[in-house]
A = this chain, B = another copy of it.
Amino acid sequence: MSFSRLISGIKKMNNPTVAGLDPKLDFIPEHIKNKSFSEYGETLAGAADALLQFNIGLIDALCDIVPAVKPQSAYYEMYGFEGVKTLAKTIEYAKSKGMFVIVDGKRNDIGPTASAYAAAYLGETAVGGGKLSAFGADALTVNGYLGTDGLTPFTDICKANDKGIFILVKTSNKSSGELQDKNLDDKTVYEFMGQICENLGADTVDEYGYSAVGAVVGATYPEQLTELRKKLPHTFFLVPGYGAQGGGAAGLRGAFDENGLGAVVNSSRAIMCAYKTENAPGEAFAEAARREALRMRDDINANI
Please list the residues of chain A having a beta carbon within 8 angstroms of any beta carbon in chain B: 22, 24-25, 33, 37, 42-44, 46-47, 72, 74-75, 77-85, 87-88, 104, 106-111, 113-114, 116-117, 119-121, 125-130, 132, 134-135, 143-150, 168, 171-180, 182-185, 189, 192-193, 240, 245
Contacts and interface: CB of A to CB of B under 8 A. Distances in A.
Instruction: Please tell me how many copies of the chain the complex holds.
Output: 2
Given A127-B43, A127-B44, A192-B182, A173 B110 contact: yes
15 contacts: A42-B129, A46-B128, A72-B109, A74-B114, A77-B116, A77-B134, A78-B119, A79-B120, A81-B87, A81-B88, A106-B108, A110-B172, A146-B176, A147-B178, A149-B175
B185 A173 contact: no
Given A84-B84, A110-B173, 6 more contacts: A42-B127, A42-B130, A74-B117, A78-B116, A81-B81, A106-B109
Nearest to A41: B128
Contacts of A81: 81-82, 84-85, 87-88
